[in-house]
Amino acid sequence: MKSNVISFAQPALPGKVSIEKISFDDFFDMGDGVTVLPSFPPKSLLQIVNLVDAGRADEISVFEWLDVTENIDQWTSLTDAQSLDACRAIWMAICCNRVLGDIAFFKAALAIDGKSSSIVPQLLETMAIVRTVRGLDALCREKIDWLLSLQAQQYYELAQTCWNAQLTPYYKTKRLRLPLANNYLSQIQQQVCAVIDPNTYSEESDNWLYQCFLSLQTTKDKLRFCESFISHFSRSAYAYRCGQLIEDHCLPFNDNSYWYVLSEAAKLN
């Protein structure tokens, strides 16, 4: 994009333009089935492992499950073998108990993103073992694969997953019932243009990228999208909706244009 307009330095864009509440409200519902009350005193971690192995996991209350996933004191006296066995049992329960699973995966996502989370580190370190368990439901597998990729910082692969599912990174995260206020989401969003082959740009890819742009929550992310689009695609892509979007947001004579904060490389394109 070339222009003879004089360019002035602009202040750095804020990372956030709105506040996204971290909450379990969207999915946390304990109204299903019969509520199991915690015993007194509460069951210990080893007692819970024994109940799981005996096929009596339904005798364990959600509150007792939460205690063993959050209370590090329950883990400090375990041997390495006992700790690994406890992780196996708890991950099996997480994948079989919807309420526990929603909470545990939510907390795991917070911890992976570097935010404050009460899940014990032993569970984060052993999350991969449950992926090999047969009989997991599709949503559970998706959550585990997503979180494992986040641990490995495989943001391009996660963007590719979103493209294959025809979901934006924002709505993919929401469908998995994981926290939306996170840092990694921006990392994934920065890869959405890269997963589209410029030589096969089509109405389908254009529509997905357009929806990706609309789902962006911050001005900084929108600017990054525009710069990525400009650098990645040829002029033929501008025949579609995203091309019009780029022109509306980036040409210097438009209102609220990003022109003055675009990189020099983007302006030259």
Residue 172 pLDDT > 90: yes
Question: What is the residue whose two structure tokens read 């990694």?
Answer: 184
Which structure tokens are listed for 123?
Answer: 């569970």
CA separation for the pair 194, 191 (Å, rounded): 5
| pLDDT tens, residue by residue, 104-140 | 999 999 999 888 788 999 999 998 888 877 778 888 8
Q: What is the mean pLDDT of residues 81-87?
A: 93
Sign of the C-alpha dihedral, residues 118, 119, 122, 126? Answer: negative
What is the rounded average pLDDT for all residues in the chain?
Answer: 83
Burial class (CB in 10 A: 0-12, 13-18, 19+), 116: exposed
When pLDDT is cut at 50, 70 and 90, the band that residue 4 belongs to is: very low
| pLDDT tens, residue by residue, 185-213 | 999 999 999 999 999 999 999 999 999 99
pLDDT of residue 22: 41
pLDDT of residue 133: 75
- Return the C-alpha torsion angle 174, 179, 182, 186, nearest 10: -10
**Strands in 8-52 per DSSP E:** none
CA separation for the pair 117, 121 (Å, rounded): 10
Residue 12 pLDDT > 80: no
- Helix 219-232 to helix 241-250 angle, to the nearest 10 degrees? 120
Separation of first and last alpha carbons in the chain = 5
pLDDT of residue 257: 85
Residue 264 pLDDT > 90: no
Question: What is the residue whose two structure tokens read 């709505």?
Answer: 171
Q: What is the pTM of this model?
A: 0.81
Residue 10 pLDDT > 60: no
| Residues composing the chain | 269
In three-state secondary structure terms, 194 is: coil
Residue 267 pLDDT > 90: no
pLDDT of residue 38: 60
Q: What is the mean pLDDT of residues 78-84?
A: 93
pLDDT of residue 3: 46
Residue 149 pLDDT > 60: yes
In three-state secondary structure terms, 21 is: coil
When pLDDT is cut at 50, 70 and 90, the band that residue 36 belongs to is: low
Which residues, other chains included, contact 105 with Cβ-Cβ below 8 Å and sequence gap of 6+? 94, 143, 147, 176, 177, 178
Greatest mean pLDDT among 73-87, 103-117, 122-136, 156-170 lies in: 156-170
Q: What is the mean pLDDT of residues 149-155?
A: 95
Range 187-190 contact pairs with CB under 8 angstroms and sequence separation of 24 or more: 187/153, 187/155, 188/155, 188/158, 188/159, 188/162, 189/159, 189/216, 189/221, 189/224, 189/225, 190/155, 190/221, 190/224, 190/225, 190/228
pLDDT of residue 35: 62
Residue in 161, 157, 156, 78 with CA at minimum distance from that of residue 123: 78
Evaluate whether 209 touches 162 at the Cβ level (below 8 Å): no
pLDDT of residue 194: 96
When pLDDT is cut at 50, 70 and 90, the band that residue 5 belongs to is: very low
pLDDT of residue 261: 83
When pLDDT is cut at 50, 70 and 90, the band that residue 2 belongs to is: very low
Q: What is the mean pLDDT of residues 67-86?
A: 92
